[in-house]
Structure 1
Amino acid sequence: MYPVEIRSASTLREFEAMYAQRWTVLRHPLKMECSLQPNQPLDSLEQTAYHLIAVCNQAIVGSARLCHLTPTLGSLSYVAVSIEFQRQGVGTRLVQALLDQARLDGLSQVRVMARADTISFYERFDFRAQGDVIYYLGIAHQFMLCQLSSAASISSSTP
């Protein structure tokens, strides 16, 4: 397996490739329409959210986003790892990097709307279920909240 680099998406080309990768992992299996363009200009995206990508052999194999909802609350979303790279620590590295960024930004909490089959993954980062299970796009989801002051730091030895 080749090494995987985790870094911010920074160019329009990277954003386009990230949206394509995200659609392939999260939306194509649901037979959703292909929408690869951001809803807002690149400059606006860079100011309102952190978009991380996982890159292997110049291809984006993972992505995730952190948005600031309030001065103390962030939202983690669109965590997507290409199937051939799942269960190799890529998702862990993406989430950990965004939680570290949230701490640097002074956020005290981060929330995620997790698909039911990913709840145990987020629990490893000290996310805790909030409220009832909801159905979004026909899939069971659970809102989860992580208190950053008490959140565990998970290190991964996966390159």
Structure 2
Amino acid sequence: MKNKIRITTDAQEREKAFAIRRKVFIEEQHVPEELEIDEYDQQPTTRHVLLVNQDEQAIGTARFRPYKDGMLKVERVAILKEQRGTGAGRRIMEAIETEARKSGYQGMKLGAQLHARKFYERLGFQAQGEIYLDAGIEHVDMVKKIEVGQG
């Protein structure tokens, strides 16, 4: 049985997402917890994505929420270290794009850590603007337009 994607607003599922984010962002990348877990996590329009393995263990996560100008904002994409390079990130991003299409969004926006820029470019995102620091880590904003009738 292969990995499954779950998109949720459920509090228990959100805690599983937080556990992955704590490992990746707080423990590995030393992002302060007060910056990592923020007010958007609790908003009713924010949805969380969990990628779970055949044993129902969460191995990857992201969150997304409505943004301005018909865009969907993708944030907090995190994959457990031992699962990186397996296609887990791609599966999560494809699931979010499917949801964006179904909901009629015109595009998706995210702030990519610089080391992940090529990953997002392979998924059709384009960098916009200057490199900036977020939680002490270099980022660049990236966008992907969603064409009507695609998918």
Q: For this structure pair, what is the TM-score category when the shorter chain's length is used for normalisation?
A: 0.7 to 0.9
- C-alpha separation in 2, matches of 1:92 and 1:129: 18
Aligned residues: 148
> Residue 34 of structure 1: CA displacement?
4.3
SS in structure 2 opposite 1:106? Answer: coil
Q: In the aligned structure 2, how far is the partner of 1:128 from the partner of 1:7?
A: 27
Deviations, residues 48-94 of structure 1 (Å, cap 9, x unaligned) = 12211011212111001111113611111111010111111111000
Q: 2: CA distance between counterparts of 1:20 and 1:129?
A: 29
Q: Residues 22-57 of structure 1: CA distance to partner in whole angstroms, max 9, x if unpaired?
A: 1111221233444697647x8x64x31221101121
Residues 64, 34 of structure 1: alpha-carbon distance in 2 compared, 3 angstrom cutoff: same
- 8 A contact 2:64–2:72 mirrored in 1: yes
Query: Which TM-score applies when normalising by structure 2?
Result: 0.86
Counterpart amino acid of 2:14?
Answer: F
Name whichever of 10-19 and 87-96 sits farther off.
Answer: 10-19
Asked whether the equivalents of residues 32 and 135 of structure 2 are also in contact (C-alpha less than 8 Å), the reply is no
Q: TM-score, normalised by structure 1?
A: 0.82
- Out of 126, 137, 143, which is 1:139 matched to? 137
Whether the 8 Å contact between 1:53 and 1:64 is mirrored in structure 2 is yes
Counterpart amino acid of residue 12 in structure 1: A
Taking a change above 3 Å as real, the CA distance of residues 12 and 92 of structure 1, as seen in their structure-2 partners, is same
Rounded Cα–Cα distance in structure 1 between residues aligned with 2:141 and 2:37: 26
Q: What CA distance in whole angstroms lies between the structure 1 residues aligned with 2:64 and 2:106? A: 13
Distance 1:65 1:4 in 2: 18
- CA distance in structure 1 between the partners assigned to 2:9 and 2:135 by the alignment: 30
Gaps of 5+ in 1: 154-159
Distance 1:32 1:146 in 2: 26
Q: Is the 8 A contact 1:28 1:34 kept in 2?
A: no
**For 1:38-77, what aligned pairs fall within 5 Å after superposition?**
39=39, 45=43, 47-56=44-53, 57-70=55-68, 72-77=70-75
